[in-house]
Chain A
Amino acid sequence: MGVMTEGKITDINELKRIAKNVRINILHMLTLAGSGHTGGSLSAADVAVAIYFSRMKFNPGDPSWEERDRFVLSKGHAAPLIYAIMAEAGYFREDTIETLRKTGSPLQGHPCSALLPGIEISTGSLGQGLSVANGMALGLRLDGNPARVYCIMGDGEVQEGQVWEAAMTAAHYKIDNICAVVDNNGLQIDGPVEKVMGIEPLHDKWAAFGWHVMDIDGHNMQEILDALGEAETVKGRPSIIIANTTKGKGVSFFENKVEYHGVAPTREEFDRAVKEIHND
């Protein structure tokens, strides 16, 4: 895929096809790596694919192109998702994903900006991405650069206090060139989010912090596209999409299974999963 400056993909079937491919590549690299975060990579896949391929301007041949839109994977453990998307977009050869988590690979267990051009900021310690996204949005605004910033967080992640510091900052500085997403899949490592440390009412919390909040089905491509479009029209305040998702989405035997938060598929599970995704 070449420079994504124009002719962004709006065809829903094409986006769904890309999302399937991304899911298969996520499972492929996780299976080869033998470890990694399956559930949260799959739950955020549809939103992330829509952001990259329907909205963002970027140039895999020039990852630091100034006019590019920026993407921050604040939930860094979903690294396989961003790697699968970058492979799809042409940032690197597709077989690079087979080096995930291997010694010397640019595809670290959590994204590393110093090793992989196209990753804007290293993440992995939760709660930090939104602050960085705000900083980029402020810098772009100072320069009169119309580029936008996207940031995907996990639902467990918003238990981090820094997220709410950043939430205040975005509203205080009227940052409207940012669109955040909470991948609201309901599960975190130790169990259901509401059982571990409740975050509800999530919509009201973000609204009270001054954000334009959109609740969607995070696996409905049309709803995702509509929300991303709406975010661009909101002026004077930041936008957030609460994407209600299913952890492990796309593979029935991973779905809503807390034990697949941080476990890679076996070879056998991979083969079954790929069949399911193809038949979907």
Chain B
Amino acid sequence: MTELQNTRQEAQNPVQAHSGHITEKKPKATRDAYGETLLELGKRRPDIVALDADLSGSTKTAKFAREFPDRFFNMGVAEQDMIGTAAGLALTGKVPFASTFAVFETGRAWDQIRLAVCYSNTNVKLVATHGGITVGEDGASHQALEDIALMRALPNMMVIVPADASETASAISAVADHKGPVYVRLGRAKVPYVMPDDYTFTPGKAFVFHIGKDVTIIAAGIMVDIAQKAAEILAGEGIDAGVVNMSTIKPLDEETLLRVAETSGLIVTAEEHSVIGGLGGSVCEFLSENHPVTVRRIGVRDTFGCSGSPGDLLKRYGLTAGDIVETVKNSI
């Protein structure tokens, strides 16, 4: 049994106990899981509608569009109008899922999200794909590194960053049942399965794989897998490193954070986002007021991305397991 499996077997969640077992499956992009889940939800729930801004093939809302053409609205390259239209649909009792790339969804239409979605508290689900630098070759214009900060600053908004395809499926179902604005950030690239088979996403609940005596890595999105790899390497060097999947970034699971901070003297956050205003920012804000401990943030350090393969870019911007390991060792 590897250290990684050991770590997973210790997995405990305040809500439910897990076997920790993960069936071996090929890596899958979270956007693919979204497309499939939206289609399934559409079959069960006639109130679900979808909108896209000319990227339905990439965001995978095209699956829903083919099955339910009357409940799908392609808005063309017009994100602001898409958000307003989604708010209007929500006001007639529909549950609109509005999707495009994270940069355009949260940046181009931020004022619309602020006024027509958050301030008006309309039941709009913003599910954006192509978050982070693993967008890859398209480069900085298409790599959202500020989206979590932009969405998190808005009152009434829930912010979710699933770690793998199975958590995405579970989160999308939960989001459809949740009343109120939600932002879900998904990725372009295929990611390994990291969550146990019997895990169910609960809004606002972090998943604790293990709380480390020496350090705990609080991660979200693709960084959960990378954090686990880092924890495995650290274990080999005698450092007890925990991993928490903080998939709901807002509202933050404060109870779990406190529990982690009380056990681990050091916390490292890991996200595929700017270190400003995202997961790392959230954790620092909460802990500095409630239980100050040393926090180190792994993330993109106040710069734009660039073109390259996802793997190369993770190295270039310091988002690898090796970077986490180094940060931990330099901080203990």
Contacts and interface: CB of A to CB of B under 8 A. Distances in A.
Is A bound to B? yes
Interface stretch (B91-99, B157-165, B268-276): B91-99
A166 B112 CA distance: 13
A166 B84 CA distance: 9
Contacts, number: 112
A121 B71 contact: no
Contact of A121 (B49, B93, B114, B116): B116
Interface in B56-105: 70-71, 73, 75-76, 78, 80-94, 96
Contacts of A99: none
Contacts of B120: 113-114, 121-122
Q: Is the interface of B mostly helix, strand, loop or mixed?
A: helix
Nearest to B119: A122
B116 A128 contact: yes
A131 B80 contact: yes
Given A122-B120, A131-B80, A131-B84, A140 B112 contact: no
A22 interface: no
Contacts of B87: 121, 131-132, 135
A165 to B, nearest CB: 4
Nearest to B78: A165
Size band of the interface chain A makes with B: 35 or more
A165 B88 contact: no
B84 A132 contact: yes
A220 interface: no
A143 B78 CA distance: 25
Contacts of B91: 70, 120-121, 132, 135-136, 139
How big is chain B's contact interface, by range? 20 to 34
A138 interface: yes
A138 B87 CA distance: 11
B268 to A, nearest CB: 39
B111 A169 contact: no
Interface in A150-198: 161-162, 165-166, 168-169, 172-173
Nearest to B121: A114
B115 interface: yes
A142 interface: yes
A235 to B, nearest CB: 18
A23 B292 CA distance: 58
A137 interface: yes
Contacts of B75: 165, 169
A257 B49 CA distance: 46
A172 to B, nearest CB: 8
Q: Helix, strand, loop or mixed for chain A's interface?
A: helix
Contact of B89 (A136, A161, A168): A136
A113 B119 CA distance: 8
Contacts of B94: 139, 142
A211 to B, nearest CB: 15
A247 B92 CA distance: 34
Given A135-B91, A139-B93, A128 B85 contact: no
A114 to B, nearest CB: 5
A223 B96 CA distance: 38
Nearest to A136: B88
A105 interface: no
A218 to B, nearest CB: 25
Given A132-B87, A134-B88, A125 B81 contact: no
B85 A138 contact: yes
A239 interface: no
A223 to B, nearest CB: 28
A133 interface: yes
A128 B92 contact: no
A140 B78 CA distance: 22
Interface string A98-130: 000000000000001110000011111101111
9 contacts: A113-B120, A128-B84, A131-B81, A136-B89, A142-B71, A143-B93, A145-B92, A166-B84, A168-B81
Interface of A: 70, 112-114, 120-125, 127-140, 142-143, 145, 161-162, 165-166, 168-169, 172-173
Interface of B: 49, 70-71, 73, 75-76, 78, 80-94, 96, 111-112, 114-116, 119-122
Given A113-B121, A121-B122, 7 more contacts: A121-B88, A128-B84, A131-B82, A131-B87, A131-B116, A136-B88, A139-B91
Q: Which 9 A-B pairs have the closest CB atoms?
A: A135-B88, A131-B84, A139-B92, A165-B81, A135-B85, A165-B78, A136-B88, A132-B88, A135-B89
